[in-house]
Chains A and B, each alone.
Chain A
Amino acid sequence: MKLNRRMFIGTGAAAAASLQAPAVLAAGHGKPRVVVIGGGAGGATAARYIAKDSKGEIDVTLVEPTRTYYTCFFSNLYLGGFKEMDDLGHSYGTLAAKYGINVVHDWAVDVDRDSKTVALAGGASLPYDKLILSPGIDFVDGAVEGWSVAAQNAMPHAYKGGSQTELLKAQIMNMPEGGTFAMVAPPNPYRCPPGPYERISMVAHQLKANNPTAKIIVADPKPKFSKMALFQEGWGNHYDGMVDWIGEDFGGGNVSVNPDAMTLTIDGEETKVDVCNVIPAMKAGRIAEMAGVTDGNWAPVNAADMSSKADADVYVLGDASQQGDMPKSGFSANSQAKVCANAVRGALTGSRVFPAKFSNTCWSLIDTNDGVKVGATYEATDEKIAKVDGFISQTGEDAETRKATYEESEGWYTGITTDMFT
């Protein structure tokens, strides 16, 4: 049974009880307790590092509803046919077996910061000394006129890994000959800045092979986007004439959809489309808001340790956090998790706390063996996580360089998922 987060919240607590979450171990044995909500790049990494490095001195509970975690990063490669869904799935077994993490497959539905407890949909209550929130993203209601989560089967967002990704791929593969794939791209800030454009590349790759007269339309509320020159060069080289990117200047932000009629209206002009991938504006995963640590759409944090500006015993990692210059990415979340883990361990056991160092690299695949990347290092200042130095792939690079970049991205995928789950 695969549950989508939004569907799940919609169906309420009754369905949650049927998930049969394992019993939560009773607290009260005197060890400091850390509860981590969200088992993605931020949460799984934080739980693993705290448990591994504290060597049993800290009780770590990881709350994650899905038993198999499908990474959102690399899911575009599944759309393009470069990866199988199974390649993207990871289980939490090793975190429990090797590091003694109490992995609870349930939804966190509330946080009481006064009594320092987390309420689970299944009815249990988890006490904590330190709480780490890494809930990823949810979508801003009403961000795209005509679209709501109720319409996500007709017009998938596919911006959380798993069933939505599979749905979008099935729709792409079933497009009529010469049909139209449309994307409504999100406004800043959002998860994985190059993600929508890598996706366009992967969809184009798939269509070029299977449906070469198909068209791709991108309605974008932004005037420019991550790695824009690299993507546009690549689209010209590999998919000439197939991709029509409509930016802010041409009304790309003035968009509405009709999921029943499968139409997309851009700046007053209605188009019938066959697949419509709506990626709405994003906000922190809902539990951050329920915990009362958000300000607007995101949860502000202190750069030195990722602690919430609202509560020194709550930390927010990854996409949900508002930290400064780092992009919202799995790599960033993983990087932030290590700084946080070091600080949390120090606070609870007196272990040495070292200065925060952050880094990120985002690889994107444009076509077979045509990989590009952008990366930067960051440091903590009093105000924010601030960029120190960066690099980006260059246009016109030779094929060997691009191939090496793609191979490096595959190495990174193995590296980060090993760092999260094994």
Chain B
Amino acid sequence: MRVAFVLPLALAALVVAGASFAEAIGDAEKGEKIFNQCSGCHQVGSGAKDRIGPHLNGVFGSKAGDHEGYRYSNSMQRARADGLVWTAQTLDTFIENPKTLVSKTRMSFRGIKNAQERADLLAYLRIYSDDPANIPEAEPTAIGTDHDLDPAILALKGDAEYGAYLSSECLTCHRADGSSDGIPAITQWPEEDFVIAMHAYKRKLRPHPAMQMMAGRLSDDEIAALAAYFKDLD
């Protein structure tokens, strides 16, 4: 099988390429150990199959929810339809907190908060994607900086009354009673999750053109205001 043959070469290339490159994209050897947290559900490497979770060979550059025969959550199917593609950046966001990127994914994993650990894990996973040399270097090096929300943003106290006004724009599509049918529910989310999700849209990490547009013009304070309002909306 092709993957099995290519892998040692690719690993060797990474090692030979030198320390600076390995550091920039994370340490694959350390990543292999971190992958132990994933291997209960995910297989990777020669002969890997979909099990509890889909196998992860070739994940870089693939569309989300792309394995034929694997039963993905509705959320993951929607993310696929919205155009989510697994890149170093989107994978990093997903691994940091899966529900930030795909609200109701069945992947029950609390996420990896440490940016370096995520970089290491991604460096390891990257070995199992075809021709990793084609993956732009800009993405891995950006890990841990581009979409780590400034703690000051997360600390903003939302003005719920302003949020109530702003929410009226959301409620043309999303339902105030929290039901979801074709359009996801957004009520009673923890404020932090709401803020992270909206900023992910704002930075176009989370796919969906309408939401990227809507979030794109909201200020940090406005996102905090919406989070403060929706958290208690019953």
Contact = CB atoms under 8 A, between A and B. Distances in A.
Interface string A376-412: 1101000000001111000000001101110111111
Given A354-B165, A375-B210, A412 B217 contact: no
Contacts of B81: 400-401, 403-405
Contact of B183 (A379, A388, A411): A411
Contact of B213 (A53, A389, A419): A389
Interface residues of B, number: 31
Interface string B193-228: 000000000000000011011101100000000000
B175 A415 contact: yes
A361 interface: yes
A373 B174 contact: no
Contacts of A70: none
Contacts of A415: 171-175, 183
A418 interface: yes
A201 to B, nearest CB: 20
B8 interface: no
A338 interface: yes
B182 A377 contact: no
Interface in B174-188: 174-177, 180-183
Contacts of B180: 411
A69 to B, nearest CB: 17
Interface in A151-199: none
Given A415-B173, A419-B171, A389 B217 contact: yes
A322 interface: no
Contacts of A9: none
B210 A416 contact: no
Interface string A323-357: 00000000100110010001000000000101001
Contact of A354 (B166, B171, B173, B181): B166
A361 B170 CA distance: 12
A359 interface: yes
A414 interface: yes
B216 to A, nearest CB: 6
B132 to A, nearest CB: 26
Contacts of B82: 401, 404
B11 to A, nearest CB: 35
Contacts, number: 90
Contact count band on A = 35 or more
A416 B214 contact: no
B30 interface: no
A49 interface: yes
A387 to B, nearest CB: 11
A357 B169 contact: yes
Contacts of B175: 414-415, 418
A411 B214 contact: no
B78 interface: yes
Interface string B74-86: 0001101111000
B137 interface: no
Interface in B72-108: 77-78, 80-83
B55 to A, nearest CB: 21
24 contacts: A49-B168, A334-B172, A338-B168, A352-B165, A354-B166, A361-B173, A375-B209, A377-B216, A379-B217, A390-B213, A391-B212, A391-B213, A401-B81, A403-B81, A404-B82, A411-B173, A411-B181, A412-B173, A412-B183, A415-B173, A415-B174, A418-B175, A418-B176, A419-B171
Give the 6 A-B residue pairs with the shortest CB-CB distance, closest first. Answer: A411-B182, A411-B183, A404-B81, A391-B209, A338-B168, A407-B182
Interface of B: 77-78, 80-83, 161-162, 164-166, 168-169, 171-177, 180-183, 209-210, 212-214, 216-217
Given A53-B164, A388-B217, 20 more contacts: A49-B168, A342-B165, A352-B162, A354-B162, A354-B165, A357-B217, A375-B209, A375-B210, A389-B213, A389-B216, A391-B210, A401-B83, A404-B77, A411-B180, A411-B182, A414-B181, A415-B173, A415-B183, A418-B175, A419-B176
